[in-house]
Amino acid sequence: MKRPLVFLALFFSLGIFVSSLIRVHLPFYPATIIFFIFSLFFIKKGLIFDILICCTVFFLGVSALKNYELLPRSHILNFIPYCRNDLYTVKGFVNSPPISRFDKVSFVFNVDEVQFNGAKYKCCGEIMVYTEGKQDLSYSEGLILTGSLNQSFRYGGSKRNNYNRYLYNQGIRLIMRAKFIERSLCLNKSCMSAVRRFSLWLKEKIEKLIFRRASNLTATILDAMMLGEKKNIPVLIIDAMVKTGTIHILVVSGFNVGIVAFVFLLFLKLIRIPRWMRFYLASLLLIIYCLMTGASNPVIRATLMAIVFMFAYLVKREADIYNSLALGMVFILWFNPNQLFDIGFQLSFVSVFSIAYLYPKLKLALRIEALKRRWLRFLCDGFLVSLSAWLGTMGFIAYYFNIFSPVTVLANIFIVPLASLITLCGFSLIAMELSFSCLSPFFAATCELLVSLLLKINILFVKIPGAYLYLSKALNS
């Protein structure tokens, strides 16, 4: 079987999709075991073995989603009656960086204990917490919260873009409006928590350096491109980039991970660190960077692919982009099968697959290599990469966001290289601030110029007649 991981990822995803259509929890693990045992008897039969393995992985996908949706008896949802507005007291720790916006704070809370009607119960699970006013909270901090609890449902509402469904896909079944907050002992002392605390501490330090050297608008753009923090970006800028289909530049993706990996590997090579040690150190750094940026699907995918490619270089083998992409896909879905239905997950993998599959074919068909002028080949390459990504994702964007943007292909030719320069300049600004602070103003001024240019170019594309079209309005007219 050529590219086996691709087929396994497809059948695993198909199993998850079919499982989502089945509302009844049936024992699918026996079918998985049966098909696997049968495949061992036909291990040398070629096609029959491949079919049995694909069936095994399909039922494994079905079982994975059903098993993920089965909550333990101690889950907090089992203690909360349906449609009750009582006050509940929960004890646990903050399990995500708190987000402050419009005088409100939100964060994911890992529950260890719930109290109501004068009784206490040990429990588990995560809830989404909202509270008003300014709160000085931090990741992994132990808290005691009092407020109302309501369920978040997977079904109902818009099938395209529903916040409750998003929470459900993240494994969050309850939403709390906290009225009272008390500090308690920190309950989360795991090794991963320590690594994540260090990552978030490092992120905070880098953000302070960025905001100290750059203007507020430029700093918010750099914060989004380098660290994935978009909460401070003005709504008008986000709206303009959605219209031109360039909003993806404000998301940390494979390019950012590639820069971090390349610069760090180059530094380690210059100081003559052995190849095997470079692999482990670079992998650790990429994991820390992944946690710094929120461990979103694009970053996890890019991090796994980078580690696979570095490992292939370590063992002197050529890595396959399709198998690497499939490995990242299976890794994410294994831990959370509901991610298959997440918009970000779908766009992340579809865009990369479209570029990997369509770009070489379009380049060969149009004979780009035959062009004698290098700058013309560069422009054509940029156009074809943008076109490939647009062709792969336009259906998803039209379905989820009700917008069709023909200008996306043209806009990305100019916006993406500028965004790349801004990201490189941002990382250089941090490096100079830590080593030669006297050069920091030069890089800060360059970032200001590039960000201003990017925003003005994006506005020009928005003003082009027919640049974008809202599908709901077009259908109604």
The residue type of 456 is: K
94-118 pLDDT, tens digit per residue, is 888 788 777 788 888 989 888 888 8
Strands 99-101 and 174-183 turn out to be: unpaired
- Mean pLDDT over 133-149 rounds to 83
235-262 pLDDT, tens digit per residue, is 888 888 888 888 888 777 776 787 778 7
Is residue 172 a contact partner of residue 127, using CB atoms and an 8 Å limit?
yes
Distance CA 329, CA 66 (A): 18
- Mean pLDDT over 136-149 rounds to 84
Per-residue pLDDT for 141 more than 90?
A: no
Higher pLDDT, 417 or 159: 417
Tell which residue, 187, 197, 180, 192, has the closest CA to residue 122: 187
State residue 66's pLDDT score.
Answer: 86
205-227 pLDDT, tens digit per residue, is 888 888 888 888 998 998 888 88
Rounded to two decimals, what is the model's pTM?
0.78
pLDDT band at 12 (very low <50, low <70, confident <90, very high): very high
State residue 187's pLDDT score.
Answer: 52
State residue 365's pLDDT score.
Answer: 85
Strands 403-404 and 469-470 turn out to be: antiparallel
**Degrees to nearest 5, angle at CA 76 with 70 and 80:** 110
Give the relative orientation of helices 235-244 and 440-462 as an angle to the nearest 10 degrees. 60
CA atoms within 13 A on the CB side of 376: 7
Q: Which residue has the tokens 């992944």?
A: 290
DSSP state of 3: S
313-366 pLDDT, tens digit per residue, is 777 777 778 888 888 888 888 888 988 888 878 888 888 888 888 888 888 888
State residue 13's pLDDT score.
Answer: 92
The residue type of 465 is: P
Structural domains of the chain, with CATH: 4-69 (no CATH), 76-189 (2.40.50.140), 197-476 (no CATH)
CA distances from 303 to 202, 296, 335, 343, 347 (A): 18, 10, 16, 19, 17
State residue 1's pLDDT score.
Answer: 61
pLDDT band at 450 (very low <50, low <70, confident <90, very high): very high
Lowest-pLDDT range, 298-312, 448-462, 463-477? Answer: 463-477
What burial class does residue 317 get, using C-beta atoms within 10 Å of its C-beta: 0-12 exposed, 13-18 middle, 19+ buried? exposed
State residue 162's pLDDT score.
Answer: 67
Distance CA 318, CA 314 (A): 10
State residue 473's pLDDT score.
Answer: 53
26-72 pLDDT, tens digit per residue, is 667 788 888 888 888 877 777 888 888 888 999 999 988 888 888 88
Per-residue pLDDT for 416 more than 60?
A: yes
Distance CA 377, CA 85 (A): 64
Q: Which residue has the tokens 């259906």?
A: 395
SS3 letters for the chain? Answer: CCCHHHHHHHHHHHHHHHHHHCCCCCCCHHHHHHHHHHHHHCCCCCHHHHHHHHHHHHHHHHHHHHHHHCCCCCEHHHHCCCCCCCEEEEEEEECCCCEEECCEEEEEEEEEEEEECCEEEECECEEEEEEECCCCCCCCCEEEEEEEEEECCCCCCCCCCCHHHHHHHCCCCEEEEEEEEEECCCCCCCHHHHHHHHHHHHHHHHHHHHHHHCCHHHHHHHHHHHHCCCCCCCHHHHHHHHHHCCHHHHCCCHHHHHHHHHHHHHHHHHCCCCHHHHHHHHHHHHHHHHHHCCCCHHHHHHHHHHHHHHHHHHCCCCCCHHHHHHHHHHHHHHHCHHHHHCHHHHHHHHHHHHHHHHHHHHHHHCCHHHCCCHHHHHHHHHHHHHHHHHHHHHHHHHHHHCEECCCHHHHHHHHHHHHHHHHHHHHHHHHHHHHCHHHHHHHHHHHHHHHHHHHHHHHHHHCCCCCCEEHHHHHHC
Q: What is the chain's mean pLDDT, rounded?
A: 82
Distance CA 95, CA 93 (A): 6
Distance CA 333, CA 47 (A): 26
State residue 449's pLDDT score.
Answer: 93
63-99 pLDDT, tens digit per residue, is 888 888 888 888 888 887 655 567 889 998 888 878 8
Higher pLDDT, 127 or 201: 127
Q: Which residue has the tokens 């379905």?
A: 399
